[in-house]
Amino acid sequence: MALAGIRVIELAGLAPAPFCGMILSDFGASVIRVDRTKAAMAVDTQGRGKRSMAINLKTAAGVSLLKKLCLQSDVVLEPYRKGVMEKLGLGPQELLRENPRLIYARLTGYGQNGPLSLAAGHDINYLAMSGLLSRLGRSAEKPYAPLNLIADFAGGGLTCALGIVLALLERTKSGKGQIVDASMVEGAAYVGSFVWKSRRIGMWPNPRVPSSHNFTRSYLRVCLELDNAELPNQMSFDDWPEVRRIFTERFASKTQAEWTRIFDGTDACVTPVLSFEEVGSHPHNQQRGSFIKDLSGEESPSPAPVLDRTPAEPCLKPDPMIGEHTVEVLEEYGITAVQIEQLLAAGIVASHATKTKL
């Protein structure tokens, strides 16, 4: 796979950082998620293909061990607030000094500098700061966010993964690593570049009006059996509520299956709104393998995009339990069996396998 041979240390976090780690894992990187030893259960639902080891970072020995792992890896991915890793002595300056080839990715809401760099926040806060939230929602209604997809995942995890891959590519030329400062505010705003840069041609007027993506009127009119004289002017914003009313009444006259058959083969840009339970059985998705099932039968999206020579080969095993691979990872990084036993006995690391045996 494209990222085969790349070692990644991912500090366990929520939502965007685990997604970033899963992307890297899906495309071949060896991703080791570092969990807390006292955590009752993993909250990472995006652990596909990762391995988990549990380290007690409240001990000097635990911090020293993590440092050793980082110095033997290609990428460190950390989701903490600014300053947390520095307090541990594991900041980018320290690690890059000893491993100049290291890619140190920092995924936060507001970035590593600026007045808000230490502030807490959630997806909706970052979305608000990006300007995009003000443009989301129906006219005359309050703005609303599309789940936490834009800032956390598109502007956060996905953008951070892009930054890591760019840094890895640049390293092939310079031989040097660098810091990736992934701000979810800036990532969300960047994802919304089309909205920003289309304002000058009047596509996104302020205040908000219904979306102007009404490019398929002629196909809709024919398939809905509407006379052109019945419909107001397409580009008259004031008339769009009446157009919506007419379309709503007509669509309500048939079932989803009936409309799907009517529009099939046209270019009217009409598709059924499929549930999670339905998407995998749609013929198009089936042919492309757009969704996969793991060994437990749980369905989820396949990695994207599709590379023709070195496609992703997502792991179908269940997501790792906390500390499931602690011993395996330590052995891989050169820790002896005697040292591993000492680390386990002292509570510096925890192994799920060891606990199971006990």
Let me know if 122 is a catalytic residue.
yes
Helices (H), the chain: 16-26, 60-71, 84-87, 92-98, 123-130, 159-174, 184-191, 193-197, 217-223, 240-251, 256-263, 276-279, 283-288, 326-332, 337-345, 352-357
- Which amino acid is located at 42 in the chain? A
Region of 41 (left: φ > 0; alpha: ψ -120 to 50; beta: rest) is: beta
Let me know if 239 is a catalytic residue.
no
Q: How far apart are the C-alpha atoms of 39 and 62, rounded to whole Å?
A: 15
CA angle 180, 185, 190 (to 5 degrees): 80
**What are the angstrom distances between the C-alpha of 224 and each of 29, 84, 234, 240, 331?**
50, 59, 16, 17, 66
Q: Where does residue 66 rank: exposed (0-12), middle (13-18), buried (19+ CB within 10 A)?
A: buried
SS3 (DSSP) at 97 = helix
Q: Which of 152, 181, 319, 352 is catalytic?
A: 152
Q: What are phi and psi of 351, to 5 degrees?
A: -125, 125
Active-site positions read 122, 152
